[in-house]
Structure 1
Amino acid sequence: MALEGRLDATVSSDAAGSDTVALAFTVRNEGSETETLRFSDACKAEFVVQEEGREVWRYTDGRMFAQMLSAEELDPDEETTYEAAWEEPQSGEFTVVAELQARETTCEARTELTV
């Protein structure tokens, strides 16, 4: 399996001054064969925000996802992006980790974030 991940985190503020962190986890097939990503529910990626190794936010906390089998194919050099938003984040310096939730497949990416 030749999947490579990239994670982008962008902080924005609305007119009321509330911050949001937009997270985009891009998974790219760097291999020479088509990769099939198989999922057991509607959650395709997990996002976790950590401060000095302590978890401060997790995308899936308090959320429910449809229980359905699905699959996505990534041809060589093809990529797909999974997104999430951390609304009203606390201020500080964080490490954000994204992990693909496909069965029998691993791909992870990290980035540093200052809010």
Structure 2
Amino acid sequence: MALESTLDVEVTDETVEFTLRVRNAGDGPVDLQFRSGKRMDVAVEHAETGEMVWRWSEGRMFTQVLDTRTLEPGEETAYEVTWESPSPGSYRARATLAADRDVAAEATFSVP
């Protein structure tokens, strides 16, 4: 199993959009098993202090459902979440896939 992941960050006037891309770089299919409606999570901290400032899943509820997504060799899937009205500053984000695989990606960004 060879899963590769990247975290894309797009800053707009009023939001920050996060896209976690997961690609099967292996030779065989990979099953991703989810235990709820949550597919990913993003945690954002101040780049300078490490203080947590936002987590996408905080305060949310998710359906309890078992689901499997199979990625064929070379296939990619993407999951997106949005941070509304962020404060100006420099940040570090870590996105994690909410499946039975250890998949995560990080990115740094600034909000003007």
Give the TM-score normalised by structure 1.
0.92
Deviation at 1:53, TM superposition (A): 1.8
Structure 1 position 95, deviation (Å): 0.4
Residue identity matched to 2:75: E
Residue number in structure 2 paired with 1:69: 66
Alignment map for 1:38-77 (pairs within 5 Å): 38-51=33-46, 52-77=49-74
Q: C-alpha displacement at 1:37, in angstroms?
A: 0.1
| Percent of aligned pairs with the same amino acid | 39
Which runs of at least 4 in structure 1 moved beyond 2 Å after TM superposition? none
2:12 is aligned with 1:36: no
User: CA shift at 1:63, angstroms?
Assistant: 0.6
For 1:91, the equivalent position in structure 2 comes to 88
Match of 1:16 in 2: none
Give the Cα–Cα distance (whole angstroms) in 2 for the partners of residues 59 and 44 of structure 1: 11
Partner of 1:10: 10
Root-mean-square deviation over aligned CA pairs: 0.7
Aligned residue pair count: 109
**2:110 equivalent in structure 1:** 114
Whole-angstrom distance in 2 between the partners of 1:54 and 1:109: 18
Query: Alpha-carbon deviations, 1:34-61, whole Å to 9, x = none?
Result: 0000000000111010113221100101
DSSP 3-state at the match of 2:12: strand
CA distance in 1, matches of 2:40, 2:25: 19
What is the distance in 1 between the residues matched to 2:98 and 2:51? 21
Matched with 2:21 is 26
Structure 1 unmatched ranges of 5 or more: 14-18
